[in-house]
Chains A and B, each alone.
Chain A
């Protein structure tokens, strides 16, 4: 199901940042469908659109009716977006930090995720809840969490975690066109990252299709967000030792492209999962469980989690670095895994 999603430059790709790619996705979908609108805190006026610039310039093109600054009222932002979606609009609600979504869990968990089922399939709730998560900027415990597993635990939600500009654009366009509530989680440390993004107007990446970011024979590494890039750096260094990592970005956690991961594990016999979310209850455990269920006989060693420590994210750089999984942690764990035989 996987394949290269970034087309060569000759096919019409440009280099964009992750933020620019997200902005293009919003702009294109708002042009394509007048039912799409954006709401959230500081999405229109602040700096021309968005604290991180994702909605930059949208209010100039689409006006304040469709690019709506809200008060600081996260529960209302979520609930109103859901009510609008239930009645035929296609809102994209922005939460400035995923941490603030804790204030909006009631409508997301009890309303958006469940209305369709509770109403016997008669409700359609095409809403996107956008937020950014993750650490590495010294934002400390209430602005650095990675909470994707919370949403994965609620049937009825889809959960998207892009790591590249092309994935960000193609997946956001799919999320907006999806008729289900989608939690679309960006990573603050990736916003400035550059990459080639296809120019084609119909460039979309379907939800539920993972991507092999690097092929390798010895260890399958499934990374989320920044851990994809860190895994690629670890792979380069380990290659010098003759250890080949296969780096997989699932891109969406719900639905999960398990087939892609299992196919890789059948080849390598070893699985390492890595995310910035704290280890306990993180989605990595779910990936491990599913791989064990599907491919136990193919495993040559116990799967390993290289995830954040079970601690609130600290402020001081020395502590924050320790709390998060680093390239060296991946290298050490992958090296040990590669050498281990059951």
Chain B
């Protein structure tokens, strides 16, 4: 299945990113890829409790949107949230420490993989409830409206959340209140084992936006430039007070739903077809074609990113577990 291939090409709307920003984008995408590979390896090695949800394959969608945002813009994420935190400027050391349940983690070991947040960076958290971040982002957009100042909020969610009631309620509310919020669906084709072309009535999720009288744009989520261009335009109109919109990024979840997924529900050749469109490889190639950087520079960046993830793992493993006196703290302010 190659859904993305059937999507009409989205015109690149200028995408005015300088070389420095493009290099930042590549570094973020590589960091997500390396971090997620390490997280899965650590999970399989028995270093993590609970589970971990890999966002490998979704890097262009995550970084493409994030580079259309300002540091003061708000983001909410999902159970598959590592990539969003990294792309919003999160610290991989504190992230890895949280994944390993250490006192130095973002949440002091109280949250784990599904509850990483960096509130100082306006990253309002991963979320263990499918669709759970949608209302929070809409509320952040309400704060932005009441305060003024032009901040926007982005709710990332997967195709699974397309069928949660909160998305309908918030789409409607954001539309009638003209809130500056982007509903960004990373349509990675599966909600656990449910294929989106089965579970999502009406076919094109972006068309649901029409019902609310707001723009709905669907892009190839493996194409950084397409995602970034669309997100820039939609964030821009939100910032100008023109209200919310949907952005649907067609992408693919390379790994299973979580690290223990039996993956019996999808054909192996499907993954191979999507891997042929790998967003990181594609972005590297495009940057080389544009003369932004050469093979050697990419290799150097890969080494730097791998070293960063090594350091994060070492930092996490060297960090203490939470002290027992932390059990009952932070329940109430």
Chain A interface (Cβ within 8 Å of chain B)? 37, 65-66, 68, 70-71, 73, 75-76, 78-89, 91, 106-107, 110-111, 115-124, 126, 155-156, 158, 178-180
- Is B211 at the interface (CB under 8 A from chain A)? no
Q: Is B119 an interface residue (CB 8 A)?
A: yes
Q: Which of B188-220 contact A (CB under 8 A)?
A: none
Residue on A with the closest CB to B141? A83
Q: Which residue of B lies closest to A125 (CB)?
A: B333
The chain B residue sitting closest to A70, CB to CB, is: B173
Residues A121 and B135 in contact in the complex (CB < 8 Å), given A75-B166, A76-B166, A76-B169: no
Q: Is B160 engaged at the interface, CB distance under 8 Å to the other chain?
A: no
B54 at the binding interface (Cβ < 8 Å): no
B138 touches A79 (CB 8 A): yes
- B243 near A: Cβ within 8 Å? no
Query: What is the CA–CA distance of A18 and B305 in the complex, to the nearest angstrom?
Result: 62
Within 8 A of A (CB), among B258-289: none
Known: A83-B153, A107-B166, A110-B132. 7 other contacts (CB 8 A): A82-B139, A83-B135, A84-B139, A111-B132, A119-B107, A124-B333, A156-B331
| Stretch in B108-116, B229-237, B294-302 with 4+ CB within 8 Å of A | B108-116
Give, as a whole number of angstroms, the nearest-CB distance from A104 to chain B. 10
Q: Can you name 5 A-B residue pairings with CB atoms under 8 Å?
A: A78-B135, A79-B166, A91-B139, A111-B127, A122-B107
Q: Tell me whether B169 and A73 are in contact (CB under 8 A).
A: yes
Are A120 and B332 within 8 A (Cβ)?
no
Kindly identify which residue among B136, B146, B329, B331 contacts A89, using a CB–CB cutoff of 8 Å: B146
If A118-B110, A120-B111 touch, whether A83 touches B117 (CB-CB below 8 Å) is no
Check if B119 sits within 8 Å of A179, measured CB to CB. Answer: no
A121 touches B139 (CB 8 A): no
The verdict on A121 contacting B136 (CB below 8 Å), with A116-B333, A180-B333 known, is no
Q: Which of B135-150 contact A (CB under 8 A)?
A: 135-147
Using CB atoms, name the residue of chain A closest to B103: A120
A119 touches B125 (CB 8 A): yes
Residues of B within 8 A of A88 (CB): 143, 147
Interface contact A87-B173, CB-CB below 8 Å: no
Contact A111 B333 (CB under 8 A): no
Q: Which residues of A contact B166 (CB under 8 A)?
A: 75-76, 79, 106-107
Whether A87 pairs with B140 at a CB distance below 8 angstroms is: yes
Q: With both chains docked as a complex, state the minimum distance between the C-beta of A235 and any C-beta of chain B, in angstroms.
A: 34
Tally of contact residues, B, Cβ under 8 A: 47
Q: Do A120 and B169 touch (CB < 8 A)?
A: no
Are B330 and A117 within 8 A (Cβ)? yes
What is the CB-to-nearest-CB distance from B258 to chain A, in angstroms, rounded to a whole number?
18
Q: How far is the CA of A156 from the CA of B333 in the complex (A)?
A: 9
Contact between chains at B132 and A106 (CB < 8 Å) = yes
Residue in chain B with minimal CB distance to A103:
B165
Given known pairs A82-B136, A110-B128, the reply for A116 and B331 (CB within 8 Å) is: yes
**In the bound complex, how far is the Cα of B173 from the Cα of A122, in angstroms?**
28
Q: Which residue of A lies closest to B105 (CB)?
A: A120
Q: How many Å lie between the Cα of A65 and that of B179 in the bound state?
A: 12
For A80, give its contact among B106, B117, B129, B135 (CB under 8 Å).
B135
Tell me if B176 is interfacial: C-beta within 8 Å of chain A. Answer: yes
Q: Are A84 and B142 in contact (CB under 8 A)?
A: yes
In the bound complex, what is the Cα–Cα distance between A205 and B139 (angstroms)? 29
Contact of B136 among A65, A73, A111, A116 (CB under 8 A): A111
Q: Which chain A residue lies CB-closest to B110?
A: A120
- CB atoms of A79 and B139 under 8 A apart: yes
Known: A71-B176, A73-B169, A111-B135. A84 touches B143 (CB 8 A): yes
Q: Kindly list chain B residues whose C-beta atoms are within 8 Å of the C-beta of A78.
A: 135
Task: Tell me, rounded to whole Å, the shortest Cβ–Cβ distance linking B88 to chain A.
Answer: 14
Question: Which of A88, A122, A156, A179 neighbours the largest number of chain B CB atoms within 10 Å of its CB?
Answer: A122
With A83-B137, A120-B110 known as contacts, the answer to whether A71 contacts B333 (CB < 8 A) is no
Q: Which residues of A contact B170 (CB under 8 A)?
A: 76, 79-80
CB distance from A291 to the nearest CB of B (A): 22
Q: Whole-angstrom distance between the alpha carbons of A111 and B132 in the complex?
A: 7
Once the chains bind, are B128 and A80 in contact (CB under 8 Å)?
Answer: no
- State in angstroms the CA–CA spacing of A79 and B168 once bound together: 13
Residues of A within 8 A of B138 (CB): 76, 79-80, 83
Q: B172 at interface (Cβ–Cβ under 8 A)?
A: yes
Chain A proximity of B160: nearest CB distance (Å): 15
For B173, list chain A residues within 8 Å (CB).
70-71, 73, 76, 80
Question: In the bound complex, what is the Cα–Cα distance between A111 and B115 (angstroms)?
Answer: 11
Q: How far is the CA of A87 from the CA of B172 in the complex (A)?
A: 21
Known: A89-B142, A122-B119. A179 touches B333 (CB 8 A): yes
User: How many Å from the CB of B224 to the closest CB on chain A?
Assistant: 28
- The docked-state distance in angstroms from the alpha carbon of A122 to that of B122 is 12
Query: With A76-B166, A84-B142, A87-B74 known to touch, is A119 a contact of B135 (CB < 8 Å)?
Result: no
Q: A81 vs B172: C-alpha distance in the bound complex, in angstroms? A: 15
How far apart sit A126 and B134, CA to CA, in the bound complex (Å)?
A: 19
Q: How far is the CB of A122 from chain B (nearest CB, A)?
A: 5
| B124:A83 contact, CB within 8 angstroms | yes
* CB neighbours of A180 from chain B (8 A): 332-333
A80–B137 CA distance with the chains assembled, in angstroms: 8
Chain A residues with CB below 8 A from B146, complex form: 37, 65-66, 84, 89
Query: B173's closest neighbor in chain A, by CB?
Result: A76
Q: Is the CB of B136 within 8 A of A119?
A: no
Q: With A106-B166, A120-B105, A123-B117 in contact, do A82 and B135 touch (Cβ < 8 Å)?
A: yes
Contact status A83-B136, CB under 8 Å: yes
Residues of B with C-beta under 8 A to A91: 139
| Residue on A nearest B126 in the bound complex, by CB | A118
Contact with B111, one of A83, A110, A118, A158 (Cβ below 8 angstroms): A118
